[in-house]
Chain A
Amino acid sequence: MKEEDCLLKFEIQGGEFLDSGESSAVIKEYLKKIGIPHPFIRRVLIATYEAEMNVVAHAEKGTLCFTIEGETVVVRVHDKGPGIPDIELAMQKGYSTATQEVRQMGFGAGMGLPNMKQNSDTLVINTEVGTGTEVIMEFTL
């Protein structure tokens, strides 16, 4: 997916917990405006929010791109960050490397990736340790 194909694009700053969650709110409005029913929107929202929060919590910075291809909503998040050394381990419910401080803010329950998997129809993770991570999620109506 090329950058210019994004219907909506957002910059995400690592460590910005307070200002986070903006992309999912804007995406929600967009999907509402084109008449998508709420149960579907909710799936996109939950997964997108988690993907955005992973950049905020674990990476330096990233971009989120939202688009619709036919009847499929595609959300692609790529970041500059530490990458994920063991994806299988990271996908496990409750697994988290979040710091104590992040946990105290109510994040880092280790449910982000499992929730992204559960709420999307396909989830692809490309990651390179030391460089960054790309997450592509597809949701079919």
Chain B
Amino acid sequence: MSEHSIIIDENKCNGCTICLRACPTQALIVRNGKAKLINDRCIDCGECIRSCPEKAIKSKRDNIDIIQNYKYKLLVYSPVILAQFKEFHSWEKVLYLFRHMGFDDICGVDTGGYIAADIIRGFLKNKKNSKRPYIATNCPAVCRLIQSKYSGLVEHILPMYSISDIAGEYLKHAFISTKKVDPEDVGLFYISPCPAKLIPTNQEKGCHSIFDGIFSMGDIYNTLMKIMENEDLQYTEQEMVTTKFALRWSSFGDVEHKFKDFTTLRIDGIRNVIRFLNRLENGIVEDVDFVDMYACDNGCVGGVFAKEDPHIAEYRIKRIADAFPEKISKKMFPCDVDSCDIRMKFEYNPKIPDKEDMKLAIQTLAEIEALYEKLPKLDCAACGSATCYNFAEDIVVRKDVTMDDCPILKKSAP
């Protein structure tokens, strides 16, 4: 069973079913008046967290104190955090505060984007790589959606780590090599804009997170605000080694710039992602090389843990990025760790059903359809299943409800 970041607080949940309708994969049900997660359907997109009026749905996250368990502390931050402050022009302050919190070295996810762009370009240039369009792995919610619901499209996933993982491995590798320290003493941490990134992307393969701790951007935002208010600090100058493109790509998914000689698309918002995957599965997407998809509106600036409006955040990142060059002039430490390579494989091993399996599956489906035809098709979710179709499925497969649980049918019964 896969691990998830979603936690439902039964004391706060009043069973209103709003989250059921917000969830794009029908991974929630309400039973006995409380919402429950169906593990193998959840993709950790966090839509349920956004939707819950009672704030009963939360995401796991680590406590910042765990950094004290390590002698050396390294931090990868999503540049989205730089856009959460009104005074976004003083992003140096934020970087300074990370150091002040105890981190020995830091870098943004944009560093990963900078490294990845050339590797991906090389991969796309090679005509032998023919499973086009290739799908970027930057949003784990998208990767999980493909693995669970569009398994036939798994071979389209770019066989590469996400840019946050690349940034992390790079930072750690560079730190250990230059400081000549024992890797055991180094803790690597990440500030995530979303629940999706709180757990490893490719769980099917038993992939473990490269991070020793992952914090919610919201928590860190609060911590930073507190420090700013309560402490009289002497800020020192901070350096950010990055490019215009890397900052834009890693925060609102502006992928096109570096890939102008290919056909690339950026698709944002989980419903748009689903529509595109359906088209791709139906075989009606042609001549596209690379697709960068994000579960959140406007990419990671729209992450669940981001406080600022995604379009304002985009504006701010653009203005910050304006000051940076197209290319990094400084000589960078070489990235020769695993993740800086086209190496990760998402696996697809379908099991071919035999005659009997198929017969059974056809029967089950017929039962579901027959029940569905009897339902009011209002998708009101009052029964505790997300849609009338899900309710029919639950009667037949999950067997935890019966027709009697439909309040509409009950009411109209003589």
Contacts and interface: CB of A to CB of B under 8 A. Distances in A.
Contacts of A41: 152
B206 interface: no
A39 B152 CA distance: 7
B282 interface: yes
Given A37-B152, A38-B350, A141-B352, A7 B362 contact: yes
Contacts of A37: 152, 350-352
A30 interface: yes
Interface in B20-61: none
Contacts of A38: 151-153, 281, 348, 350
A103 interface: no
Contact of B358 (A34, A39, A42): A34
Given A35-B357, A37-B350, A21 B365 contact: no
A33 B361 contact: yes
Given A21-B282, A28-B281, A36-B353, A42 B152 contact: yes
B399 interface: no
- Interface size class, chain A: 20 to 34
B179 interface: no
Given A41-B152, A71-B355, A141-B352, A35 B361 contact: yes
Contacts, number: 53
Nearest to B361: A34
A141 B350 CA distance: 13
Interface in B222-281: 278, 281
Nearest to A40: B352
Contacts of A45: 282-283
A93 to B, nearest CB: 19
Contacts of A35: 351, 353, 357-358, 361
Interface in A7-45: 7, 21, 24-25, 28, 30, 33-42, 45
A54 B365 CA distance: 30
Given A28-B281, A68-B362, 17 more contacts: A25-B282, A28-B282, A30-B365, A34-B353, A34-B358, A34-B365, A35-B351, A35-B358, A36-B353, A36-B358, A37-B152, A37-B350, A37-B351, A38-B151, A39-B152, A41-B152, A71-B358
Interface of A: 7, 21, 24-25, 28, 30, 33-42, 45-46, 49, 68, 70-71, 141
13 contacts: A21-B284, A25-B282, A30-B365, A33-B365, A34-B361, A34-B365, A35-B351, A37-B350, A38-B151, A38-B281, A38-B348, A40-B352, A71-B358
